[in-house]
Amino acid sequence: MKRVLAAVLLGFGLMAGAVTASVEDEIRARIAPVGSVCVSGEDCAEGAAPVQQAASSGPRSGSEVYGAACAACHDTGAAGAPMKGNASAWEPRIEKGLDTLVTHAINGFNAMPAKGGCSSCSDEEIKLAVEHIIEDSQ
């Protein structure tokens, strides 16, 4: 009787181990990475092309930055923003000087957030956008 009981327990133990291994394999399959990144200069898996970085063509023009970030407020006057082309609204601001206007544009001023909310814009691009606004507002 003890031998039969031992054989049954051994059989259940082997089955439980196989089931556990199967469940672990299923978990590994579910959490496996779905892809990989191949960086230029590294040995890549067969068929994988290295990721190429886009070459920067330099800073965007003032009109491009204005259209992408500034126009939303300065074309409509939202939150009290002086409208582009409105010489009387811009005259007192322009009198403070370009450096002050650029500093306000970069750091934010009154209701305007830093860089007008354009976190991808460089300081140089913000300066170009300010110059663009000034040209059209004098």
DSSP 114: G
E-assigned strand segments in 61-122: none
CATH number for the region 62-136 comes to: 1.10.760.10
- Could you give the maximum distance between any two Cα atoms of the chain, in Å? 105
Distance CA 60, CA 14 (A): 68
Distances (CA, A) of 122 to 102, 114, 126: 12, 11, 6
pTM (predicted TM-score): 0.60
- Say what the pLDDT of residue 18 is: 59
Residue tagged 């290295």 (tokens): 50
pLDDT (tens place) for every residue of the chain, 138 residues total: 777 767 666 666 666 655 676 788 888 888 888 877 777 777 776 655 555 555 567 789 999 999 999 999 999 999 899 999 999 999 999 999 999 999 999 999 999 999 999 989 999 999 999 999 999 888
**Residue-range domain boundaries for the chain:** 62-136
Please say whether the beta carbons of 112 and 105 come within 8 A: yes
